[in-house]
Structure 1
Amino acid sequence: MKVTRAASTSRVLMIYTGGTIGMLFGQQGLTTEPSFLTATLRSQNRFHDPLQDSLFSHSGSVQGYRQWSSGNSGRSSPLTGVADVSSSQLPTLLVRSSRPIGRTGLSSDRDQGSSAAGGVQVADNVYEAHLPSLVTPRSAVPGGTGSKRIRYAVLEWDPLLDSSNVEMSDWIRIATEIELNYMFDAFVILHGTDTMAYSASALSFLLEDLGKTVILTGAQIPLSQLRNDATDNLMGALTIAGHYIIPEVCLYFNHMLFRGNRVSKMSSYDLNAFDSPNFPPLVKVGIDIVVNWKDVIRQTSLRRFKAHKKMNSHVATLRLFPGITAATVSAFLTPSTKGVVLETFGAGNAPQRSDLMNVLRQACDSGVVVVAISQCSKGSVSDAYETGRTLLQAGVVPGGDMTPECALSKLSYLLSKSELSVSEVRNLMGVPLRGELTSLVPPAANNLTVEKNLESINGLLSHFSRLSKLPPPHANLPKIIIQDETAPDAAAPWSWTAAESASTEAALYPMLLHLAASRNDIESIQFCLGKPENSVHTNTDSNALNSLEAASMVAGGLVNCTEGSGRTPLHTAALNGHLDSVNLLLNFGALVHQRDALGHTCLYYAARQGHSEVVNVLIKMGGAFSFVDNVFAAVAIENALKSGDTMSLDVWKSAGYVALT
């Protein structure tokens, strides 16, 4: 029973840095107050319902509410529905930090090393403690079956920061805490809105090869006020983090989940404070939660997650204006400056004065990386105008459609990498590393005709017949044909829309992909998925284009499609020990942290079956056991010890089994 409940529970770490969301009114205006936010979350049953005895847990139906209302035992109030559970009775979650940890968050410097801090130092600059956890009421899994609860711990900073005081060292601190706590399923970062776009952009680069969901959110009106946007923003971010694997740094605000490095703050007083002018939202939260899966980044590099812990502070932003002098620009470009984001007019234009161009050229020649972006919220720099080409000739690098926040963060990140030359930094500024700018390579046009759609589906049937060991494709198999309507006896032709074609293939492709993964059939996997993510724009093959259409209709993309037990093709390939299929699926962006309906990862199945080579690949990709995996692994290891099965013990050890405490 405990394992079943664990399988339907996500574990989220909430890092509370400060900001309006947890503020109270003081003598000099809104100010942060330690522990207030955690106490508020504990008092609201939508955020904390440990006994599943609140109104929220029994309001799914009339019958459920009436039964709860009439049989309420007094453990919770019909008005508030908040169970009376003291902090000492709350279940705990193990949390690590680079600073000493208090009972509900980070202790102040004066508490360092004291037992009152509630944490212990386990290594240099690594502290850990078991923090009280909160748990949401059970809710339906969006787009799936069953229900899920979200258990989360709040790691609160001390002192809490107004976001106007956030510095680069704080970005590194957040990245470090995510790395130390990567055993959690997802992360929610509570942050002030003023510099949230900067932090989201910076973290998108610092968190290298990210495979889990990271969401920043905050509020315009604090949670302490009766009318606020904090409740919706916090619940929305927590729900998405607990239910979906979107392996990006995101920003959630006003019912929209954006890619973090595409966002700018647009208003200081609207609840709709953020916008992503040049890239669509990843998730829209309305009556339904709609995920734009085709735009979600899927990690395809076979590298383990790590946090980069350096930023170069010798960067700055310079906004051009009519009449700006060369002397002003020259004074701005001091010898210590290593990188400059140049906010230009329109599509990348600048005044054409020779003295100004000479100053920029001299800076570029001396090794300063100057990146041009547009002052316009929408649009991109280009070489369409002569005034823009002059900048490029001076050595200025085009920054595409990056936001100012993103361009500055990316420049600081790249310049902090000592292994990169100035030339390499300039080249990488124009390359999308985390989806931060629109690639200049246009996607292939999808000019599929009905005939090509039918040809693709007939190809699908051919692969099904081969994998199912039916007669060969040239036998008298049923085929879909289109009749020549010019023939004298032609009947009305079968016509369909692109949506109908995609729907048909969305039903067929997942079935074929799972079958191919179970048989280690590389040809059929490639047929379904076309080419790996990094070369998809050069693929003009009709079946690949059709599979892309099908992928947009499958949660997580076609490569992460699930069958009845919640297993993905990667689960199937790992269970059967098919190393070639595992490698290929990972190259297509298969999620190594995806769990099936029982709460198991693909790493668990590979280890259980003793497939050591598959285990090594999944570990290299960042795979790790879930809480449920560890429970079952403990039983398997106990049996292996009793039987003296050293091979199994070695596999479990290489898979990273950690004994539960």
Structure 2
Amino acid sequence: MEIKPSIIELFNVDSSNIQPENWTAIVEKIQEKYDDFDSFVVLHGTNTMGYTASALSFALENINKPVIMTGAQVPLGYLGTDAVTNLVNSLRLAVWEYHDVKGVIAVFGSKIISGTRVKKGTDFDYDPFNSFQAGALGQIGRFMRIDEAALRKHVNYLSKYKPLAIQSRVLSVKKDFDTKSIASLTEFPGMSVDLFKSLVENNGIKAFIFRAFGAGDPSAHLFPAFEYLKTKKIPIIVTTQAPGGVASFQVNETGQYLKEHDLAIPAFDMSMESMTAKLAWLLAQKMDYEQIKIKMSEDLHGEINIENELI
């Protein structure tokens, strides 16, 4: 098979400096070139690859082509670089004929991962990414092994709301993200209950992501803050600080209180990267409080494992 690549440099920045405007630029370029190419490979730094992969997954709702993200732990030109291997493997998947590959996918090290599940686990390994709380789509090395059921599930999300986009004119693109309206907080014992109100009134915060204890179980002394946010119709998504945990509001007393009084949205098994990109994407669409509550609990692109909602 002959590969005819074209190289387009949108920006050259350290991935720690990636902004939502960069996500939008990538989406716009894919939309612009959609009819010209069969596949897209996005070269990206590792620090924020999970955020960008999630953002593109939501923005390109019904894409009918692969958008493969990759990069390197050791940059090209340095001794021991993994850049060439990762790029070659990404191109292999981009032209793979044996499976129906499409949508946003990361190829890095030995793993093939769905865009909304990309999670960096280490800075010191050639295989730094994991498929967060879900199985990988496949493994890649000398041979490529695809989990057909996982890939089929990944692809099915792309036509969940609209038919797959055969041409750019029917590609559903929602490319904007409002991250500046989000406050992301981690709970600790004795945390100030007044912090939430202050961020709303003094900083214009319109939504919160809150890493609570346990399975999404905040301290009861913070309940007045949750009640305040509900009266102001400001959504708060509650996740867990446990690396492999699930925030379900079904395990401990304080989490159950949030559920019974409709004070927060459980993150279930969404990654921090995925829930942040998703919330910013919904806010940019000017969705109201009730709409955000519904959509954040809905599995749009494989970011939520429905089975984990029942834990």
Give the aligned partner of residue 438 of structure 1.
305
Three-state SS of the structure 2 residue aligned to 1:154 is: coil
Amino acid at match of 1:162: D
Give the aligned partner of residue 578 of structure 1.
none
Per-residue deviation at 1:152? 0.7
Equivalent of residue 106 in structure 2, options 233, 237, 251: 251
Amino acid at match of 1:379: G
2:40 corresponds to 1:187: yes
Equivalent of residue 415 in structure 1, options 272, 283, 297: 283
Cα gap change, 1:325 to 1:442, in 2 (>3 Å): closer
Give the aligned partner of residue 166 of structure 2.
none
Amino acid at match of 1:439: I
1:227, 1:391 → 2: CA distance?
50
Structure 1 residue runs without a partner (length 5+): 1-147, 444-661
Give the aligned partner of residue 4 of structure 2.
151
2:134, 2:268 → 1: CA distance?
13
Per-residue deviation at 1:372? 1.0
- Identity, in percent, stands at 30
1:211, 1:377 → 2: CA distance?
33
Contact kept in structure 2, 1:263 and 1:277, CA below 8 Å = yes
Equivalent of residue 236 in structure 2, options 347, 370, 385: 370
Equivalent of residue 176 in structure 1, options 28, 50, 56: 28
- 1:206-355 matched pairs, under 5 angstroms: 206-244=59-97, 245-296=100-151, 297=154, 298=156, 299-300=158-159, 301-303=161-163, 304-313=170-179, 314-334=181-201, 336-353=204-221
Cα gap change, 1:386 to 1:351, in 2 (>3 Å): same
Three-state SS of the structure 1 residue aligned to 2:89 is: helix
Amino acid at match of 2:247: V
Contact kept in structure 2, 1:352 and 1:387, CA below 8 Å = yes
- 1:56-95 matched pairs, under 5 angstroms: none
2:109, 2:49 → 1: CA distance?
14
1:196, 1:409 → 2: CA distance?
12
Equivalent of residue 271 in structure 2, options 383, 403, 409: 403
Contact kept in structure 2, 1:179 and 1:306, CA below 8 Å = no
Three-state SS of the structure 2 residue aligned to 1:157 is: coil
Per-residue deviation at 1:436? 0.6
Contact kept in structure 1, 2:86 and 2:108, CA below 8 Å = yes
Three-state SS of the structure 1 residue aligned to 2:178 is: coil
Cα deviation 1:429-478 (Å, max 9, x = unaligned): 011000111014899xxxxxxxxxxxxxxxxxxxxxxxxxxxxxxxxxxx
User: Which structure has the greater CA radius of gyration?
Assistant: 1
Give the aligned partner of residue 257 of structure 2.
390
Per-residue deviation at 1:339? 1.3
2:309, 2:228 → 1: CA distance?
34
Contact kept in structure 2, 1:264 and 1:274, CA below 8 Å = yes
Per-residue deviation at 1:328? 3.0
Cα deviation 1:376-435 (Å, max 9, x = unaligned): 2213112121121123325101111001111111001111113x3320111110110001
Contact kept in structure 1, 2:132 and 2:271, CA below 8 Å = no
Instruction: Indicate the structure whose relative CO is greater, using CA pairs within 8 Å and at least 6 residues apart.
Output: 2
Three-state SS of the structure 2 residue aligned to 1:367 is: coil
1:256, 1:364 → 2: CA distance?
41
Give the aligned partner of residue 19 of structure 2.
167
Paired residues in the alignment total: 292
1:276, 1:441 → 2: CA distance?
15
Cα gap change, 1:169 to 1:442, in 2 (>3 Å): closer
Per-residue deviation at 1:214? 0.7
Three-state SS of the structure 1 residue aligned to 2:198 is: helix
Cα gap change, 1:269 to 1:442, in 2 (>3 Å): closer
CA-atom RMSD in angstroms = 1.9
Amino acid at match of 1:386: E
1:270, 1:193 → 2: CA distance?
12
1:432, 1:385 → 2: CA distance?
24
Three-state SS of the structure 1 residue aligned to 2:9 is: strand
TM-score by length of 2: 0.88
Contact kept in structure 1, 2:268 and 2:309, CA below 8 Å = no
1:339, 1:250 → 2: CA distance?
28
Three-state SS of the structure 2 residue aligned to 1:161 is: coil
Contact kept in structure 2, 1:236 and 1:255, CA below 8 Å = no
Equivalent of residue 56 in structure 2, options 177, 184, 203: 203
Cα deviation 1:28-55 (Å, max 9, x = unaligned): xxxxxxxxxxxxxxxxxxxxxxxxxxxx
Per-residue deviation at 1:218? 0.7
Per-residue deviation at 1:309? 2.3
Structure 2 residue runs without a partner (length 5+): 164-169
Amino acid at match of 2:116: N
Per-residue deviation at 1:332? 3.4
Amino acid at match of 1:163: S
Per-residue deviation at 1:233? 0.9
Amino acid at match of 1:428: K
Contact kept in structure 2, 1:365 and 1:395, CA below 8 Å = no
2:242, 2:102 → 1: CA distance?
29
TM-score by length of 1: 0.43
Amino acid at match of 1:391: L
